[in-house]
Amino acid sequence: MISFEKEKKIFKLDTPNTSYVMSVYADMYLGNLYYGGKIDDADVCYMYRQGSEQIINEGEKSGFMNGFPFEFPTAGMVNSQETCMDIRNSRGQNGIELVYKSHEIYKGKKALKGLPASFGDSCDSIDITLTNERLGIDVVLTYTAFNDVDIITRSVKVINNSSENINITKMLSAALTLDYQEGMKIIDLKGCWSRERHIVYENLHYGSFVNESLRGESGHQTQPFVAVATGNITQTTGEVYAMHFIYSGNFLGKIQINEQDSLRMVMGIHPDTFEWKLEAGDSFQAPEVVLNYSSEGIGQMSRNFHDFYRNHLIRSKYLHEERPVLVNNWEATYFDFTSDKLVDIAREASKRGIEMLVMDDGWFGERNSDDGSLGDWFVNEDKIKGGLKKLSDDVHSLGLKFGIWVEPEMISPKSELYKKHPDWAMQTHHSIPVQARKQLNLDLTNPAVVDYIKNCLKDIMEQATIEYMKWDMNKSLSDYGSEYLPADRQGEVAHRYVLALYEIQEYLVSSYPDLLLENCSSGGARFDPGMLYYSPQIWCSDDMDPVERLSIIEGTALLYPFSTIGAHVSKNTNDILGRTTNMADRAIMALLGTYGYELDITKLTDEEKEAIPDQIKTHKRVEDLVREGDYYRLESYNENHLFDAVEIVSKDKDKVMVVMMQVLCTPCIRDRRIKLQGLNPDYIYVVNGQKLHGSTLMNAGIIVPRPRGDYKATLLEIEKAD
């Protein structure tokens, strides 16, 4: 709900449990008054801060501007904290002052042209237009308050109404000004390849904390997310203020405390690789930021994000449907396979209840290693005899669905495509292009490249019956130069690349709505909300070791529902770490995601093969709970370094699952007491054949016997008694 108090020009946005309040001061500047737990409409004027007379005194304007909590702070206005926008006018001068012009409140939510964005009917929106009449620039701030979840979204549109071109040199999407509280902490996600999204808590201090990516994607190392929390923060207590960016490219998130104990958070496109020429009469749309406030700790913040992304961002038909249990041949064969080998894997998989075969890298061009052929999307019939259709038909004849791996954004210098179009690679004239995995980035700012990729995808999809596609990206962006764009638009390369990526994936999912698309980037380097708009699941990490996955899953589930997390059962000895674990334990841990197998099933022992049907039956029993349920973090291996426990509770509180892993078993470890969360205290639940009240399970807990040995996983399935 959104309301407007006309006399003092106060805007109030309400979600079920939160309020966001803004006001226009002296009919000029839009400022933030409050964000937090819900307050009454009758008290909204109480939040109004006096001090408008300072604006009138032009001789002291600097002091006012420095301390004012701008909703959308801009450069050049003597602001001691981070700003959201800067422009360079036709005279080469920077800076812009914006004042209130008008607003419009309406039901529902508008789409953002060319960008992924949240949607829904159960929401209210407001467009607040700020202006600089001298420049002829309007800036439209769009806010949406959702009525079914405690989330507010923000986005920005810049309109050039003048007769002259301007250059936008900085364009962040949101700022939030809060009062600093002693002991506040930063919640951050750090990592690297195969160790993505580990949760880190840092003490907040004066100065700046920066979270950023300049890799052309969200990255293994970070996440387009910033959050601050009160010092007493736990899973169930304390306040959290969070921002998450619906974008898949370079971003900047920043938290600052100034000398006045004013805390400002900002989020948006990273200015270091961004400039946009905005011609007269044109507009520029910035991506959307998700604001999330919780007064009930980190756990409620996570559940807010989960519900929001499930209900208001992911569009796939598979969102609320069972997804096929697949086997992927990558770690089974790497590049060394033929269609006969794949059919052998499919034949064995069909006997064990697996539902899909996915053919990974190595099926096209002359692709027998990672040194060439990216861009040559024609079948290597020396390996895939008879082509894609025959392989697809053979797999389907065994009762399995068929999936395929692609990496459309890349070009190998050793390829037919590069021979024909070397100018299609991203490059600058002053340096040798940077390769990774012996490949370069295609210049997606070039419409001819975009058309080529679309046509290749269409050709692949129409050669055979393909139900699943894994879209990979194994090289982050570099060499931000385009042979296509003119000199005065080279600053647009990074953002135009992301826009073109969205255009291609939109083409793919709209042309083939039954396709299950999974995004991937060398593991989890592009796990961000922008990609969820196109694919309901994203490959979480290349490291499938069940112990390493504990911290990866905890960090990923901090923001994303389990239904989005690509998770597979891999081989006994992990190829990355060399750790050997039990298949039964790996199967339990893989339940916390989309579930599948990444191994050569033909080489398993008879005992391991015979275990697969029961593992799949267990997955099927809990799949709807994992996909739709509420997440509670009971224990964190990332924090205690011994033990991990995750709980998922159905929305009606009838079904519960708990996944636990004892990582290190030492003589001093006793049986553990685990207190459940989120149950109905009055319900009676069946736990290992024993009937107990929800209140007992939450307050007294359950006893988990001490396991014998390291790396022991346990699954508890709990149901409401009849």
CA atoms within 13 A on the CB side of 635: 19
Q: Is 165 strand, coil or helix?
A: coil
Q: Which residues partner with 471 through β-bridges? A: 406, 519
Q: Find out whether 171 and 269 touch, Cβ atoms under 8 Å.
A: yes
Q: Identify the H or E element spanning 721.
A: none
Q: Is 72 strand, coil or helix?
A: coil
Q: How far is CA 419 from CA 368, 437, 474, in A?
A: 19, 19, 21
Which structure tokens are listed for 83?
């700003």
Checking DSSP bridges between strand 207-213 and strand 166-179, what pairing results, if any? unpaired
Q: Is 548 strand, coil or helix?
A: helix
What does DSSP assign to residue 70? B
Which structure tokens are listed for 694?
């929800």
Q: Which residue has the tokens 């975009």?
A: 450
Residues labelled catalytic: 472, 542
Q: Give the span between the Cα atoms of 185 and 189, in whole angstroms.
A: 13
User: Which of 198, 197, 200, 201 has its CA nearest to residue 185?
Assistant: 201
Q: Which residues partner with 714 through β-bridges? A: 660
Q: Find out whether 570 and 541 touch, Cβ atoms under 8 Å.
A: no
Q: Identify the H or E element spanning 609.
A: helix 606-628
Which structure tokens are listed for 464?
């055979």
**φ, ψ for residue 232, nearest 5 deg:** -90, 20
User: Which of 586, 617, 589, 588 has its CA nearest to residue 599?
Assistant: 586
Which structure tokens are listed for 363?
């099926």
User: Which of 172, 191, 187, 186 has its CA nearest to residue 252?
Assistant: 172
Q: Identify the H or E element spanning 383.
A: none
